[in-house]
Amino acid sequence: MMPNRAAVLKEQYQNSIGLPFSDVLPEAEIQAVLEAQGVTYRQVLYTPIVVLWSWLSQVLDSDSSLSHAVKRVTTWMRVAGLSVPSADTGAYSKARKRWPESIFPPLVKRVATALQAQVSPAQRWCGRVVRAFDATTILMSDTEVNQRAYPQHSNQKSGCGFPLLKLQVWFCVTTGAVLEVAMAPFRVSEWRLARHLYQTLCPEDVVVADSAYGTYVDLAGVTAMGADAVFRKHHQRRCDFRRGKKLGIGDHIVRWQRPKKCPHALSPEEFEALPEALEVREVYLSIQVPGFRPSNFVVVTTLIDPKRYPRAKLAQLYQLRWQAAEVNLRHLKTTLAMEMIAAKTPTMVTKSIWVHLLAYNLLRTLMWEAGADAEVGALRLSLQGTRQQFNHFRPELLHLSPSARPQGYQALLNAVRELIIPFRPHRSEPRVVKRRPKPFPRMQEPRSVAKAKLVA
């Protein structure tokens, strides 16, 4: 009976949540990744493929609890007339723990690569692949093992804060997909994470980021991989447009010298490997958006050809950075509820983050396919709306006959294609909160100590 139940459960998942993604994440590819990692399993109900799709369902559902995921399984078993497994979440929880973390990065990479393959050179910025990146923080359950691996912020009292993980994500500017990821404790600088990810760059790639990375070391790290960078100038570096090779008003090429002292984030060996000088183009940009004050700043870049990369193109690229990095990080943390990971061990925390990233890339794939033939690009479609629409279609896809599934999938794409975010150029909201918090004091001591005082 158990193999029948497992087969029914796998079929249910593949014909519902897995149906739209059968090309980018087919069962054969998942099995290949499992075999490459040496993963074997007995004929149990929660096979690896079932666990993967169920875990993705948790991320995409508004109720992401384990009990909600298990209730879906018990419902399917009842409808199929098979013996119903226990409603306890223990078996499913143990099955998730058995998944090696090393399996997730290849799956995230495969979906991103498949999405990148659909992008034509004409859709790219100046025909080149552009990556935008930024760092953020993730909270997790306050357990002893989590605190050891990812200590809380140093300005919080012991037992009164949450373990803190630093996450750096690289996004594709054209598709919005997650391309590369680095995780570390909060005390590790984001510069170290970025310089580690520079090793993943391909020749002809372009990276764009904020002023934290507008330094000699970062520009040298990018150019060493044959790629180019567009960073906002670091606030400590002075810029004098009267010097260097003049390309226009507020546009020139200068020669940067390697710092005299080794930065803290570099080893002496890494510092000595840097070139002694770099040719850098400094461009003064003034970005004017109706309804907002003009934004004036200087970008530093290794794109020194002013004909192929004019100032207007650089301004366009830096405007795309906000959408590609800041907004997409908000989608991950807010829309997909990744800001707080309710896992009690560091391993499960990082696994959960990878599942969120995989779910995000799958949604981006759905949005790209929906916007392929539309007048409005995929980045103008609503990710939250796509998630909601997909959740409504999942039970409908499950009941379609094999011959009707392509038509059902096309209906889903048509629905997503209509989820266009309104163009609101004059929208400007103050960063204030109207809802008042409840008048309870902030925690100043561990909860166990406070509870002991109540009974004392």
Which domain range does residue 26 map to? 5-98
pLDDT at 292: 53
* The pLDDT of residue 34: 82
Q: For residues 5 and 10, give the distance between their C-alpha atoms in angstroms, rounded to a whole number.
A: 9
- pLDDT tens per residue, the chain (456 residues)? 445 888 888 889 988 999 899 888 888 888 888 888 777 766 788 888 899 999 999 999 999 999 999 999 999 999 888 888 888 999 999 999 988 899 999 999 999 999 999 999 999 999 999 999 999 999 999 999 999 999 999 888 888 899 999 999 999 999 999 999 999 999 999 999 999 999 999 999 999 999 989 999 999 999 999 999 999 998 888 888 999 999 999 999 999 999 888 887 788 888 888 899 999 999 998 876 655 555 788 999 999 999 999 999 999 898 888 888 889 999 999 999 999 999 999 999 999 999 999 999 999 999 999 988 777 788 889 999 999 999 999 999 988 999 999 999 999 999 999 999 887 766 677 888 899 988 888 888 888 888 888 887
Q: Are residues 202 and 256 in the same domain?
A: yes
Instruction: Identify whether residues 153 and 85 lie together within a single domain.
Output: no
Residue 96: half-sphere exposure toward Cβ, Cα within 13 Å: 22
Domain end point (choices 334, 353, 381):
334
**Same domain (yes/no): 52, 127:** no
Are residue 157 and residue 249 in the same domain, yes or no? yes
Residue 297 in 3-state DSSP? strand
Same domain, 29 and 122: no
- How many domains does one find in the chain? 2
Q: Could you say which DSSP state residue 168 is in? A: E
Has residue 247 been placed in a domain? Answer: yes
- Residue ending a domain, among 334, 361, 391, is 334
The dihedrals phi and psi of 44, each to the nearest 5 degrees, come to -115, 175
pTM as predicted: 0.93
What pLDDT is recorded for position 59? 95
Domain-embedded: residue 46: yes
Domain shared by 107 and 91, yes or no: no
Pair 241, 186 in one domain: yes
Going by C-alpha positions, the residue among 452, 349, 323, 303 that lies closest to residue 96 is: 349
CATH number of 278's domain: 3.90.350
Q: Do 70 and 142 have their domain in common?
A: no
Do the Cβ atoms of 280 and 251 come closer than 8 Å? no
In this structure, is residue 189 part of a structural domain?
Answer: yes
Do 135 and 170 lie in a common domain? yes
Same domain, 153 and 276: yes
Residues 128 and 216 both lie in one domain:
yes
Is 376 part of any domain?
A: no
Q: What is the DSSP string of 347-392?
A: HHHHHHHHHHHHHHHHHHHHHHHHTTTSSS-GGGB-HHHHHHHHHH
Choosing from 42, 67, 98, the residue where a domain stops is: 98
**Four-residue CA torsion sign, 233, 238, 239, 245:** negative
pLDDT given at position 1? 42
In a domain, 453, yes or no: no
Domain shared by 154 and 227, yes or no: yes
Give the dihedral sign, CA 329/103/346/194: negative
